[in-house]
């Protein structure tokens, strides 16, 4: 049973790490996009 948990963790550890990294990158780009959209009406005046 213990060997199964170790196998699952080693198989899924890398994809989970890559997923969190990519989500973090997307989040920062989305925050930049949101700030741009919010400031757009002030620039259109």
Element (H, E) at 34: helix 2-44
Q: What pLDDT sits at residue 38?
A: 95
Neighbouring C-beta atoms of residue 24, cutoff 10 Å: 9
Number of domains in the chain: 1
From first to last of the 45 residues of the chain, give the pLDDT tens digit: 667 877 777 788 888 888 999 999 999 999 999 999 999 998 888
Q: Which domain holds residue 29?
A: 1-45
Helix/strand/coil for 45: coil
């Amino acid at each position: 049973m213990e060997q199964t948990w170790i196998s699952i963790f080693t198989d899924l550890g890398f994809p989970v790490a890559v997923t969190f990294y990519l989500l973090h990158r997307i989040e920062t780009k989305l925050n930049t996009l949101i700030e741009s959209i919010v400031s757009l009406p002030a620039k259109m005046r």
